[in-house]
Structure 1
């Protein structure tokens, strides 16, 4: 399990005074979406030029933290060292333009939009990024394969079809839902996310005792009976998922595969943790927020039986 992953969308600010003046509140990784290979290249590029220091910055002892801030290195290194590596990549803002997002190398529509990870790492000069542009946080690629159904107010629909037809009526848990009172509400979609291009994706398909199945990327967060979330790669035969009616459904088999496809995700407009639990293929699953600004909340108990917040374990 990755712990203490740096927040992407506003839970953290960078640690030095130069970076601490502004905290992002609703940055969308979809503005700068990368596939896994490009994410690898972006991270390596940023670390390369942090040390290369092309603008001769003296503020950080010969490093240029505007490319890659070292406060993110532990989280990124833990993610890269996981059983299934995840390449968290830096995103940037322009402090001279009201902290507007700035697309880094590999971003769609940019001069380097078609570059591979290796080309980003080795062929993009440090001066590609203007000196003032600074790192804002981390994004993570990845989630559902396109045929997986999410629950809408009108009923289940494949997530790709929901995106392409503009469906906005997402069903999520209510903020006060517990296992003894699993209640749902009609929510609204804030946005869908998807990989910019088809790429080789590591997927896992779970088959459960009830006859259900769910196919997601290995990094996708799923609700487990303890009331928190685990990433798909942490689950195996004998572990249990949670169905939308609150039953615990044992995994009886699973298959891992690599498929050349795009993967999708969705996030609601609500921002509390519990109402960011959606229903996919009949199972409770974390929304896209748990792979961005809530990524460091995965170990926290999200669904419980009327336990006061003051006694809920929290892994900071």
Structure 2
């Protein structure tokens, strides 16, 4: 097991807090960090985007087409709605979904809300403002919903960031203030979806391993620290190796809210405090959500030692939560050390959600099993 690298980096401008940080990370990541939502808030945003796209742009429940991206329960193409006519509006001005999937309203709603699947229950709504429109649904929801963020310019980072009302799903207007206060943007003004974002999940008191030792994640974000320590790509369960990586981005919420928190204590006296969906590594090398842990399960410490859970307490945290992504996209290199335990980075929460409940850290091959 290698030691954490002791060479600290100079403090940088905080990635999530200042516009100059756009130079240090992709603009979409920066836009998301200034419009960070909890899963509950994200679901309000997603439902609002579908409703407003249908009522403002589609206008007719019978204007559906058969999508080639998804199927209904009878394996027929699912009914979807397109909110943009690209012949007259090629950039998607005043749309509530995105360009990557051709402004398909139901697809974006389902993609942001549910785990990846091509099969949905498709039915007409019977009540509410969108009665008679077809809607897709599924029982398996994303741990971290994906939600749209807006600007008044189609090129991300070149315009003014705009925000839907945070609590009113019936308000289709946008605001320059994330609290939805003050005068809304005029209905005639341009706006565009410039990114889809995910949520955060470390509480601000959580300590994460950097090159010179543990650091409070909130303080690390404020300092713009990049010198994160992760597992090396060649690590195994038998021989985990720590290496210095580089932070790709931090995420933080823009406002306080209430989160479900799991406080996990282990036989060694260790303690891990994370949100319910945070990915942690168990003794099998499998990523599991914190909310699935129970007494007797074993977590992995940074040196690969299994540590039995002696108590799991469910509580709440009122405030903001935080997370980060390493620069590397290698799965093993996205395992961090938090409070001495191996846990997943923000990449596993949506970018690589398919790796949840799968083994990503394997045992090494015994030397006597290798060909001579």
Distance 2:356 2:143 in 1: 15
1:200 aligned residue (244, 255, 258): 258
How far residue 261 of structure 1 moved from its aligned partner, in angstroms, is 1.4
Q: Secondary structure at the match of 1:122?
A: coil
Distance 1:135 1:26 in 2: 10
How far residue 39 of structure 1 moved from its aligned partner, in angstroms, is 1.3
Distance 1:128 1:225 in 2: 54
**In 2 relative to 1, CA 149–136 (structure 1 residues): closer, same or farther, beyond 3 Å?**
closer
**In 2 relative to 1, CA 67–97 (structure 1 residues): closer, same or farther, beyond 3 Å?**
closer
How far residue 227 of structure 1 moved from its aligned partner, in angstroms, is 1.7
Distance 1:101 1:54 in 2: 25
User: Aligned residue for 1:76?
Assistant: 113
Distance 2:82 2:141 in 1: 30
Distance 2:224 2:267 in 1: 34
The answer (yes or no) to whether the contact 1:93–1:102 under 8 Å persists in 2 is no
Q: Secondary structure at the match of 1:164?
A: helix
The answer (yes or no) to whether the contact 2:286–2:361 under 8 Å persists in 1 is yes
Q: Does 1:42 align with 2:99?
A: no
User: Aligned residue for 1:63?
Assistant: 81
Q: Does 1:278 align with 2:324?
A: no
How far residue 190 of structure 1 moved from its aligned partner, in angstroms, is 1.7
1:148 aligned residue (206, 216, 231): 206
**In 2 relative to 1, CA 244–46 (structure 1 residues): closer, same or farther, beyond 3 Å?**
same
How far residue 147 of structure 1 moved from its aligned partner, in angstroms, is 1.0
Q: Secondary structure at the match of 1:284?
A: strand
Worse-superposed segment, 36-45 or 263-272: 36-45
What is the alpha-carbon root mean square deviation over aligned residues? 3.6
User: Aligned residue for 2:351?
Assistant: 293
Distance 2:64 2:189 in 1: 17
If the length of structure 1 is used for normalisation, what is the TM-score?
A: 0.73
Pairing 1:114-129 to 2, within 5 Å after superposition: 115-117=165-167, 119=168, 121-125=169-173
**In 2 relative to 1, CA 90–164 (structure 1 residues): closer, same or farther, beyond 3 Å?**
closer
Distance 1:36 1:300 in 2: 23
User: Aligned residue for 1:110?
Assistant: 162
User: Aligned residue for 1:18?
Assistant: none
**In 2 relative to 1, CA 43–130 (structure 1 residues): closer, same or farther, beyond 3 Å?**
farther
User: Aligned residue for 2:241?
Assistant: 183
**In 2 relative to 1, CA 45–250 (structure 1 residues): closer, same or farther, beyond 3 Å?**
same
**In 2 relative to 1, CA 142–166 (structure 1 residues): closer, same or farther, beyond 3 Å?**
closer
Distance 1:129 1:186 in 2: 50
If the length of structure 2 is used for normalisation, what is the TM-score?
A: 0.63
Structure 1 unmatched runs, 5+:
1-24, 308-316
* Cα deviation digits, residues 68-90 of structure 1 (max 9, x gap): 54345177245998899856142
How far residue 187 of structure 1 moved from its aligned partner, in angstroms, is 1.0
Larger Rg: 2
Pairing 1:156-305 to 2, within 5 Å after superposition: 156-305=214-363
Q: Secondary structure at the match of 1:123?
A: coil
The answer (yes or no) to whether the contact 1:172–1:186 under 8 Å persists in 2 is yes
**In 2 relative to 1, CA 154–140 (structure 1 residues): closer, same or farther, beyond 3 Å?**
same
* Cα deviation digits, residues 259-310 of structure 1 (max 9, x gap): 2111111111111111111000000011111123222222332211247xxx
How far residue 91 of structure 1 moved from its aligned partner, in angstroms, is 2.2
Q: Does 1:90 align with 2:147?
A: yes
